[in-house]
Chain A
Amino acid sequence: MVPVEYYIILSAILFTIGVLGVLVRRNALVIFMSVELMLNAANLAFVAFARAHEVAAGASLFDGQIFVFFVIAVAAAEVAVGLALIVEIFKSKHSIDVDQMSSLKG
């Protein structure tokens, strides 16, 4: 038996690692991966709470899992658009260093 708070603390740690990645790294691709890590941390908290709720209710409930399913679908769409944007930025700037994207010109 594992208390649900252990899962939530793990999720918080993973989320913080993702936040640090977004703040510290300059490579746009790694920043994007950190966003994915944050999404995953939130999903883990979701499934953990869903499971604790299931255990408390004593029945199979799928709402939490279905929400995570939607989050995964949205993440897939987001990655496709984001990577296309990064490729376009690389074409015009020849770099994906986010510090260099400071000109506000098209």
Chain B
Amino acid sequence: MTIDLILFLILALIAVATGLGMLLSQNAVYSALFLVLNFVTVAVFYLLLGAPFIAMAQITVYAGAIMVLFLFVIMLLGAERLPPSQALPWQRPLAIVLGLALAIEASFILLTKARPTGQIVPPSDAVNAVETVRQLGSVLFSRYLLPFEITSILLLVAMIGVIVLVKKEKWERQ
């Protein structure tokens, strides 16, 4: 067993455990904190996969901005816990059965039919140099310039949409 396989297994264990923690904790704040840990674990995976820029973007955007927004809304609404209700009693067992069916089917297909091949070797130290990010930036701003600009328009639209959504109408204010 090589060192990066051991690293992978430990990190995978943490990722699955924090995912299950998010799924199972009754308090939404704990769910959010488990998810932060999951995102950080995935960021470490990105480092192992030779994508340091994506790893840092993952930590700043996901674990930083998005989860802070989540925690802020949870605390703003005071919706950490929901009162128990029995609106759809058959829904939960059915959902668990269907989810497990998806898991079994996906693993069956991945292990027998469409087995991905290829090996992942740990990145050399050169990947973590500034040069890699510079190359990534130049690809982003040359070949992928149009999608990049569309992303900026998307963010602008989202921003305007949010402002319109939460703004009170004139007649509502009076």
Q: List residues of A whose CB falls within 8 A of some B CB.
A: 1-10, 12-21, 23-27, 29-30, 32-34, 36-37, 40, 43-44, 47-56, 60, 62-63, 65-66, 68-70, 72-81, 83-88, 90, 95-97, 99-100, 102
Q: A1-B119, A55-B119, A97-B85 are in contact. Are A33 and B4 (CB under 8 A)?
A: no
Determine whether the beta carbon of A14 is less than 8 Å from that of B118.
no
Determine whether the beta carbon of B165 is less than 8 Å from that of A76.
no
Cβ contact of B73, chosen from A17, A40, A86, cutoff 8 A: A86
Residue-wise, chain B 109-123 has the 8 Å CB interface mask toward A (1 for contact) of 011000111111100
Cβ contact of B158, chosen from A8, A27, A55, A81, cutoff 8 A: A81
Bound Cα distance from A75 to B147, whole angstroms: 15
By a CB distance below 8 angstroms, the chain B residues around A85 are 165
Among all A-B residue pairs, the 5 with the closest Cβ atoms: A23-B95, A52-B118, A77-B158, A99-B87, A20-B99
A-B contact count (CB 8 A): 238
What's the dominant secondary structure at chain B's contact region?
helix
Distance of B13 from chain A, by nearest CB (Å): 10
- Determine the residue in chain A with the shortest Cβ distance to B88: A99
- Determine the residue in chain A with the shortest Cβ distance to B157: A77
Distance of A42 from chain B, by nearest CB (Å): 11
Determine whether the beta carbon of B119 is less than 8 Å from that of A47.
no
